[in-house]
Structure 1
C-alpha cells in the first residue's frame, strides 16, 4: 500500500532528496510530506516553487519486480488528472509529466531511481500540486492553484489520500500491462499523435506533425524530416 507510513516535515530542501538520503529508514510505500520545500525539484534539474499551502510529497517504492521509471510517472499523472476531474477541474497531462489546466501548470511529477552497484533498489516519485498556495505575480501566466480554479480551498489531506489510493489501484491493476498504462496516459495527453506543433530547433521555430509520442521524446515530422524533441521547453505555445 501507499501511505501506511507517513512522515511530515515542516521544512525540507526537497522530499525527493530527503528520501534519497534516508530511503533505508523507510518501508515500501512510505510517504514524506513537506509543509514547504526550500529547493523543490522539477524535471531536468529545474526548481519548483513550493511554499506553504501546496501539496509537496514523495512516495518511496522498493519494488521486487523492476518497472521503468516512466511507469510510475504515468500512473501518478493519470491518478492526479482523474482525481482533479472528479473535483470538476478539467486537467490534462502536458507531455511528458506536468499536469495543466487551461494552459497553466497545476502539478508536476519527478520520478528518480536509487541504484547500488548498477542495481535499482528504490524508486522515489515526487509530486507537487498547487493547492491552496498563492501563485507569485511573476508566475501567474504559467501556473495556477486549485483554490484559484475552484474559488475555494481544497482539503490537502483529502487530496493526498485520494491521489495515493487511486495511484495504488492503477499500479495493482496495470503493473503487468504497462502498454495499457501508456494508452490511458495518452488519453489525457497534450499534444496527441497527429497534432500540429511548433517547436524550437537550433534557435529556429518550425512547425511539424507529431508522428509518435515516446516517454522521453516527441518525434515530429517537419517537412519530411523527423526530429526528436526532448524538452517541454522546446514546444512553442
Structure 2
C-alpha cells in the first residue's frame, strides 16, 4: 500500500477523507504525519500527540475487506491487528472494547473508522513517546514510519474476522472488570457478553461499535 508522508497535518483522517471526496486520492492508500494539530480521538475528542508518535490513517475499498468482517466491528478488527504489531516491541498491550489500545492500565492509542462512499477510512494514533503533557506512551524507541509499515504488512495478509475474533474474545473475557463509554455513559463490562459479530449484549440489549 502506498504511504503519503507529511511533516504536519491537522488530522491525517480529515485530510484523507477530504482527498477521497474530491477524488484527489484513491484507495487503498495510507497517510502519515510527523505531527498533528487536531487529531481525532474517541467520541470526537481531541487526540493529544507529539512528534515521534504514530499518527496515520488509511483507506480501503469495501471490496478489499475480509468477506466475514462485520462492518460495525471494523474498529475492533483494525485495532487488534495494531495490538499484534505493537507486541513485537512491548508486551502487556491489550485492546479495550471497541477501539482503545492499552499498555498495562494506561490508554496509549485508539482507532476511529468512518465509511466514505465505497471506502472505509481508519484513523490511528499511538503514543510512542512521552510528551510534556504527561500522557502515557510505549517509549519503545522505534520510528513511527517503521511501525506503520509493519502494521500495513500485517493488514495486507487479510486475516479473517473469525481468526481475529477468536483471539480477541479471550482477551475481552480476561479484562471484563473494566468499564467503557457507550452512548455517553460509562458502562461496566462485568456482565457483558461479546457476540460473534463483535457487538455486546448487556442486560438483554445489543450494543454495536460505531466508532
Q: Would the aligned equivalents of 1:73 and 1:110 in 2 still touch at CA under 8 Å?
A: yes
Counterpart of 2:56 in structure 1 is 57
Q: Would the aligned equivalents of 2:97 and 2:180 in 1 still touch at CA under 8 Å?
A: no
Secondary structure, aligned partner of 2:26: coil
Counterpart of 1:12 in structure 2 is 9
Q: Would the aligned equivalents of 1:13 and 1:39 in 2 still touch at CA under 8 Å?
A: yes
Larger radius of gyration: 1
TM value normalised by structure 1: 0.71
Counterpart of 2:138 in structure 1 is 146
Secondary structure, aligned partner of 1:74: helix
* Cα deviation, residue 180, structure 1: 3.5
1:68-120 alpha-carbon deviations (Å, 9 max, x no partner): 434532332222211222213320001111110111011111111113xxxxx
Q: How many residue pairs were aligned?
A: 202
Partner Cα separation in structure 1 for residue 46 and residue 4 of structure 2: 23
* Cα deviation, residue 217, structure 1: 5.5
1:128-168 alpha-carbon deviations (Å, 9 max, x no partner): 1111251513xx4xxx2121xx4xx2222221111111122
Q: Residues 44 and 62 of structure 1: is their aligned pair in 2 closer, same or farther, counting only changes over 3 Å?
A: same
Q: Where does structure 1 lack aligned partners over 5 or more consecutive residues?
A: 116-120, 232-237
Counterpart of 2:71 in structure 1 is 69
Secondary structure, aligned partner of 2:19: helix
Out of 126, 130, 134, the residue aligned to residue 129 of structure 1 is: 126
TM value normalised by structure 2: 0.79
Q: How does 1:1-237 map to 2 (within 5 A)?
A: 3=1, 5-23=2-20, 24-64=23-63, 68-115=70-117, 121-134=118-131, 136-137=133-134, 140=135, 144-147=136-139, 150=140, 153-169=141-157, 171=158, 173-174=159-160, 178-189=161-172, 195-196=176-177, 209-213=190-194, 218-221=200-203, 226=204
Q: Residues 136 and 210 of structure 1: is their aligned pair in 2 closer, same or farther, counting only changes over 3 Å?
A: same
Q: Where does structure 2 lack aligned partners over 5 or more consecutive residues?
A: none
* Cα deviation, residue 211, structure 1: 3.6
* Cα deviation, residue 58, structure 1: 0.4
Secondary structure, aligned partner of 1:73: helix
* Cα deviation, residue 38, structure 1: 1.3
Moved more, 62-71 or 10-19: 62-71
Q: Residues 196 and 15 of structure 1: is their aligned pair in 2 closer, same or farther, counting only changes over 3 Å?
A: closer
